[in-house]
Amino acid sequence: MMKYILASASPRRKELLTQAGFVFEVIPSSIEEKITKKAPAEIVMELASQKANDIFCRYGTKDCVVIGADTIVVYRDELLGKPKDKAEAYDMLSMLADRTHQVYTGVSLVISKKGRVHTRTFYEATDVTFCPVSKEDLHTYVETGDPLDKAGAYGIQGPFAIHVKCINGDYNNVVGLPVCRLYQELLTEYPSPLSEP
């Protein structure tokens, strides 16, 4: 089978790939991320590409696919990464409450196939709308510590899900990896991405 390498330490991306049926190795990239782009879509693709290329250069093999990914939350052109502390997490969530924001995930695939190496990079964007959230509920959630390792200070698949009114787009994209788009991109490379010899 084709060797897949996930260049991310995200437990959510690991879980999504596993659920989708991929057999893969996790080798997180520790490269220092450098942002030179301005548009959210270009930023996540740039960062995903940096991660994928870093791991491919160090661990890539003759026939493999290295998967790099990066997710950001955007509200009115403001980029919201992982909060540095609970206070920042509270401020982020207060700003997003009762409003619609966007989640962008960039994915970069470095593909080594029959002696040829090339890259496919893409992104998905999903609109997420929160219900109004009381200060008490915000404080309760922040105190769990759950927001601290998540872009935008929340996880849609966790306890904050009770405040998500609706989404428009790929749910898994909000979790951290648009697995449907990923699979469709791989289909252009391999007739059977999960069983390619």
82, exposed or middle or buried, with CB in 10 Å at 0-12, 13-18, 19+?
middle
Q: What number is the average pLDDT over the span 130-149?
A: 96
Q: Is 22 helix (H, G, I), strand (E, B) or coil?
A: coil
Considering only CA atoms, which of 63, 59, 80, 62 is closest in space to residue 71? 80
Strands 116-130 and 100-113: antiparallel
Q: What number is the average pLDDT over the span 49-53?
A: 97
Here the tokens at position 87 are 């206070």
Q: What number is the average pLDDT over the span 124-137?
A: 98
* 125: Cα separation from own chain's centroid: 11
Residue 24's pLDDT band (cuts 50, 70, 90):
very high
Q: What number is the average pLDDT over the span 49-70?
A: 94
From residue 127, alpha-carbon distances to 18, 43, 71, 154, 177 in Å are: 25, 17, 13, 14, 15
Segment (H or E) for 130: strand 116-130
Query: For residue 61, is it left (φ>0), alpha (ψ between -120 and 50) or beta?
Result: beta
Residue 192's pLDDT band (cuts 50, 70, 90):
confident
Considering only CA atoms, which of 128, 40, 45 is closest in space to residue 78? 40
Q: State the catalytic residue, choosing from 63, 70, 137, 149.
A: 70
pLDDT tens digit sequence for 78-98: 999 889 999 999 999 999 999
Q: Who wins on pLDDT, 167 or 33?
A: 167
> Is pLDDT at 195 greater than 80 in this prediction?
no
Among residues of the chain, what percentage have pLDDT more than 90? Answer: 85
In the predicted model, what is the mean pLDDT of the chain?
94
> Is residue 98 flagged as an active site residue?
no
pTM, two decimal places: 0.93
From residue 17, alpha-carbon distances to 25, 76, 164 in Å are: 11, 31, 24
Predicted confidence at residue 134, as pLDDT, reads 97
